[in-house]
Structure 1
Amino acid sequence: MRYLTAGESHGPQLTTIIEGLPAQLPLTAEMINKELKRRQGGHGRGRRMQIETDTVEIASGVRHGKTLGSPVALVVKNDDWKHWTKIMGAEPLADDVNPDDIKRKISRPRPGHADLVGGIKYGHRDLRNVLERSSARETTVRVAVGAVAKALINELGIRIVSHVTEIGGIIADQQSIAGKSANEIRDIVEADPCYCADPVASAKMVEAIDSAKEAGDSIGGVVEVIVEGLPAGIGSYVHYDRKLDAKLAAAMLSINAFKGVEFGLGFEMAHLKGSEVHDEILWSEENGYTRRTNRLGGLEGGMSTGMPIIIRGVMKPIPTLYKPLQSVDIETKEPFKASVERSDSCAVPAASVVAEHVVAFEIAKAIVEQFHSDQLEQLKAQIDAMKLYAKEF
């Protein structure tokens, strides 16, 4: 199971092709659009979210609401394309047009972005060629892909949810989700402006975001993704590139502006003794093998343990500010203050939605790779058999 994305931030559309989905999976555009709307929400978003209303078109691989087993193509058109046709068009420039006269040409790289290094790598003197693709706009279709993956894992009895645990140094009380299922957490989070389960912390987060925006600055934070119902033994200890935690970590770090990832207790483990870290194993006839705690975040030896998977990612503050940072013009080599290309003061709530969906894809991919998955019902039967086998082992 794999996918590719294509498209530029101000191009005509964003496109993705997903290969490897089982046939007979119920899938509609409405299921995907619900998740795309969540990505555009959250307190702290900028003007772009008011310009675009992201909706998906299923272009192939689905007939009458069910997947065919062939590649699924999804398209999200950019509403703002009509204002960028001359700037971002695919056709060659006319002979009488000087490339240097193209509007919105960029020779001034912004600190914290891909602008300068991308220009060096691909030889672009107009850095718009870099920022159009490196933009977080690309995560739109990654959420669409994740929505398809969620449709699959939901059919297998696996639930996933994300929530914001920290913004600008304000930390949510984890007791706010204690004892709650993924679906219960989702109900709370989707009604919150910061996608946070702790209403007291959320109110303070809103104030911090507003203060940062007023000061022309930005703030980052931490998001957490929880996966419930995954059978034990998904992933592998045999080869480094089949370890599930490695794949999940890579997926999280592939999100724009994410700079760190941890599972369970994460970096706190460095300060604890082994007896305070490892999860004791229990067994009962009713539940099979369980753990007394879940400090390792549902993963051991690169495999799922059957406990909920807990993964967190840290997002740096957005690097494009109304309070510009020092940089250098690549044409004149003169210093300047970096320009504003976008205006989010905090995208952590939206990033939590992206995190949920990239994790959902990796979970679905690991399952499809491990089991026969041409047809949904065959896959369901194998997952049920795996759960029973693990319980009675």
Structure 2
Amino acid sequence: MLRFLTAGESHGKALTAVVEGLPAGLAVSEDDINAQMLRRQQGYGRSVRMKLEADRVEIVSGLMGGQTIGGPVALRIENRDARVSEPPLTRPRPGHADLVGSMKFGFEDARRALERASARETAARVAAGTLCRKLLHEFGIEVSSHVVEIGGVAIRTRPEQWDDIPAAAEASELRCVDPAAEEEMRAAIDDARKRGDTLGGVFEVVALGVPPGLGSYVHWDRKLDGRLAQAVMSIHAVKGVEVGPG
């Protein structure tokens, strides 16, 4: 069974990820992972932090001769924006882990909670996910995503074939497959930025080549939909999951 753990704080020295359960003999390189790290930093409306970080991955263990050896694979991502010390944060931000984290562990400085709860952790997830993507590719399974809605602006058209969605999404700064809607989304993002606000949205993940029979209907904790929903809901700021056409 595949499993990954991450460690590190948003402005600590580095982020790390450990992936266990990969079979031996899977070809992986730092260039493969760094290509996905670069994709993570793209997109219209990204934060200033994305421009500060280089996000180059170092494979620390688990590979020999460019192939996995069956043991845990350890990855390291240095933080350029590392900070030795910061003034205490005593005013919790709404919608973040600041307040509940401080209450849970008795912190007087909310930074001790927010540094770990930061979405910066997703950089380590992308690095770990690249290894999983490589493994899925060996079985003919490809996963892609595209934006369906941002700030109330939704797509009105999409490619007729599922196979055409990945290329259409990659061609867009917003991963939007509807050019007309993309322009409206850009305008909504610009307006929100001027107001010092943020926007919610909806994205769709498409997996092609998935064989039938994965998961199990026998027990609740082995159901594929349930496991997918838990994984997606664990991503920072995700508040809902819908499986299938609805």
Into which bin does the TM-score normalised by the smaller protein fall? over 0.9
Residue 53 of structure 1 and its aligned partner are, at CA, apart by 1.3
2:106 to 119, 123, 132: 123
Question: Which of 234, 237, 241 matches 1:254?
Answer: 234
Aligned to 1:179: 161
1:13 and 2:38 matched: no
SS class of match (2:77): strand
Question: Could you say which residue in structure 2 is the equivalent of 1:158?
Answer: 141
More contact order relative to length (CA 8 Å, sep ≥ 6): 1
Instruction: Give secondary structure in 1 for the equivalent of 2:239.
Output: strand
Which amino acid in the other structure matches residue 13 of structure 1? A
Q: Distance in 1 between matches of 2:215 and 2:23?
A: 19
Mapped partners of 1:132, 1:54: distance in 2 = 17
Q: Distance in 1 between matches of 2:147 and 2:159?
A: 12
- For residue 106 of structure 1, the aligned residue among 89, 99, 111 is 89
Q: What secondary structure does 2:74 align onto? A: strand
Which amino acid is the alignment partner of residue 231 of structure 2?
A
Deviation at 1:201, TM superposition (A): 0.7
Does 2:179 correspond to 1:199? Answer: yes
State the partner residue of 1:216.
Answer: 196
Partner of residue 137, structure 1: 120
User: How much does 1:185 deviate?
Assistant: 2.0
Instruction: Tell me the distance in 2 between the aligned counterparts of 1:4 and 1:216.
Output: 34
What is the number of residues matched between the two proteins? 245
Partner of residue 333, structure 1: none
- Superposition map of 1:25-64 within 5 A: 25-64=26-65
TM-score normalised over the length of structure 1: 0.61
Distance in 2 between the 1:46 and 1:61 partners? 33
Provide, for residues 221-273 of structure 1, a one-character-per-residue CA deviation record: whole Å limited to 9, x for no partner: 0010000111110100111110110010011111111111101222xxxxxxx
CA distance in 1, matches of 2:159, 2:130: 23
Cα distance per residue 1:14-59 (max 9 Å; x no partner): 0011111011011111111111111111111121111101111000
Structure 1 alignment gaps of length 5 or more: 88-102, 267-393
Residues of 2 paired with 1:19 and 1:159: CA distance? 21
Counterpart amino acid of residue 215 in structure 2 = G
**d(CA) in 1 for partners of 2:129, 2:177:** 22
How much has 1:197 moved relative to structure 2?
1.0
Q: Distance in 2 between matches of 1:213 and 1:2?
A: 37
Task: Please provide the CA RMSD for this pair.
Answer: 1.0
Among the aligned pairs, what percent are the same residue?
51
| Structure index of larger Rg | 1
| Partner SS for 1:187 | helix
Q: Give 3-state SS (helix, strand or coil) of 2:241's partner.
A: strand
Partner of 2:222: 242
- Cα distance, 1:215 vs structure 2: 1.3
Q: Which residue does the alignment assign to 1:68?
A: 69
Structure 1 residue 216: Cα displacement: 1.4
